[in-house]
Structure 1
Amino acid sequence: MYLSIKIITINAMTKLIPALIFLLGLTNSIAAFSADEETCQIDTNKLLWTKAEYAITGDTIVINNQRVRLAGIYAPQIEKKQKWHTPGEPLAKESQTFLNKLLANNDLEVGVEFDKTRLDNRNRQLAHLFFKDGTSIQQKMLESGYAIGRTTYGNLKHAKCYYQAEQKARDGGYQLWDFLAKNPDRHFPLAESTTLTSEDEGYRIIRGKVVKVDKSSSNYIINMDTTGIRVQKKYWDNFDYNKLEALDGQTIEVRGYAYLYKGAMYMLIENPYAINLFNPLNQ
């Protein structure tokens, strides 16, 4: 079910129309528009405009009582103490606060742009969000250092812009990158494969030397010393296996959800951008 929003602006040549728009059953004729899918530039007249309510994390906003996930980024998650306890991640509250301040400073007005996939596996909306002046919210979160890039569900719009924004924060040592420099033992947002422990499950970047590249009937296999990277068969069309083989012996960074299985750490990836040598900054 798509969230219901109002259009604030339809066209610079017409009067503002109090509208009823309907992400519910939104047709392909109102497809998302991007002036250049390798940058964050956007024609704001083509966006769907609405009022946000508040951010519940640094990458999730409530709009019209529905959760909207900011496509293309990952922000540290706030501790959850419900039945299934989720530990909090560094600077999670600060990331949430920063996003709420961005929204407040822009009167909570956001422009919505969709990508290839509009719902994640938890039925949350996935969207690229902008302010009235054309500023990308994702870009601001990444440049601030309160989020890191993430490519999932085939949503590739603005990927180059997002990875550039993350690199800017990384080069400047902002927020999460400053935290990592001062607390390397916390392994967030990046960890060396050789230093991983059973406590390091969750989304992060893992850096290590590739010691084996192989394939089975169900997976492409990229092994570091302590970490197994897997590409499931359903995602093989996204990858060039010859390029994967060329990774053998190289030190790479891979980003995704790390999980412990039979005493070893694994990570499933679905897009080549998860590997730093294949992301848009290196193409």
Structure 2
Amino acid sequence: MKLSIAALKSCAKWLPICLLPIASASQADDCAPQKIDTWVKASFALSGDTVIIQNNEFRLIGIEAPQIQKKQKFYTRGQPFAKESQTQLNKLLANHDLQVGVEYDELKIDDFYRNYAHLYIKQDGRIVNLQKLMLESGLVLAKSEPPNMKHQKCYYQAEKTAREAKIALWSLAEKRPDLHYPIAPSSEINTEDEGYHIFKGKIVKVDKSSNNYILNMNTTGIRIRKADWERFDYGKLKTLEGKTIEARGFGFLYGGSMFVKVRSPFAINRLNPVNE
């Protein structure tokens, strides 16, 4: 887009305002599909991040929905807004005749035969990213899962929009911090804080072993495996010492401490380019 001389002079006076459309366009571009592999009819949403398509389970890349409680053979503890998240995804599908565009990423199927994809719907003549809509509803969290890293800026920006508006999960985080969801404070970790959370605390030490970069909060250990080191700058990790950060991932308790594996800088708020 080229601006006229008059427009440029106007921008000199109102520079922050003139830059807004450029920033918005940049975000919109990252939300757009690089290539729609196919258009298909979905059946229904199993949860806020899983859809049944042609009798196959498709996980929506880049988001994590609250867990729905399950009481079968293996008990799964439910998380707040799980049913609302599932309902929202079903509404989005139903309102668009269940037609979805499927865009694959690097990894299409995992070891458990689950399919992974970015999904799209047609809305007012435009192709719209379904993950983005779910994140803007405040009913799911952004997630980084290499090697599937398309649209990361789009997803984290959409989550940021919902968080700033204090919608759904983000209202809960402010009004009911005692629930430890979606944000779990490292200083108050308990057995119910396993699973996908945003773990918040002060980094007391940054170190490395032969197999891991190590970032320790008081009761939470963040681990970055050697296989993922190429995505990180160890020097930048060292600058996190003494600072309070948010790191997201699946927490698991071991020996009285919580551990979280992080695979991308997007998963640490102070390293995420969306927050720069």
Provide, for residues 185-233 of structure 1, a one-character-per-residue CA deviation record: whole Å limited to 9, x for no partner: 1111112111211221110001111100001111110001110001111
Residues 229 and 266 in structure 1, CA contact (< 8 A), matched pair in contact too: yes
Residues 52 and 103 in structure 1, CA contact (< 8 A), matched pair in contact too: yes
Pairing of 1:153-192 with structure 2 (within 5 A): 153-192=146-185
Residues 115 and 155 in structure 1, CA contact (< 8 A), matched pair in contact too: yes
Provide, for residues 130-172 of structure 1, a one-character-per-residue CA deviation record: whole Å limited to 9, x for no partner: 0123111100000000001001032111111111100111011
1:218 aligned to 2:211?
A: yes
Pairing of 1:16-35 with structure 2 (within 5 A): none
User: Equivalent residue for 2:30?
Assistant: 39
Stretch of structure 1 that moved more, 90-99 or 172-181: 172-181
The partner residue of 1:76 within 66, 87, 103 is 66
Provide, for residues 225-263 of structure 1, a one-character-per-residue CA deviation record: whole Å limited to 9, x for no partner: 110001111212221111111111111110000110001
User: Equivalent residue for 1:275?
Assistant: 268
Pairing of 1:127-206 with structure 2 (within 5 A): 127-132=117-122, 133-206=126-199
1:63 aligned to 2:53?
A: yes
Residues 37 and 158 in structure 1, CA contact (< 8 A), matched pair in contact too: no
Identity percentage over the alignment?
52
Superposed displacement of residue 116, structure 1 = 1.5
Residues 163 and 280 in structure 1, CA contact (< 8 A), matched pair in contact too: no
Provide, for residues 37-75 of structure 1, a one-character-per-residue CA deviation record: whole Å limited to 9, x for no partner: 96112377x441000000000000000101000000001
Pairing of 1:85-124 with structure 2 (within 5 A): 85-124=75-114
Relative to 1, partners in 2 of residues 1:172 and 1:121: Cα closer, same or farther, differing over 3 Å? farther
Task: Tell me the TM-score normalised to structure 2 length.
Answer: 0.86
- Per the alignment, in what secondary structure is the counterpart of residue 187 of structure 2? helix
Letter in 2 for 1:265: M
- Per the alignment, in what secondary structure is the counterpart of residue 278 of structure 1? coil
1:252 aligned to 2:252?
A: no
User: Equivalent residue for 1:265?
Assistant: 258
User: Equivalent residue for 2:23?
Assistant: none
Q: Which runs of 5+ in 2 are unaligned?
A: 1-25
The aligned length equals 248
Structural RMSD (CA): 1.7
Relative to 1, partners in 2 of residues 1:204 and 1:116: Cα closer, same or farther, differing over 3 Å? same
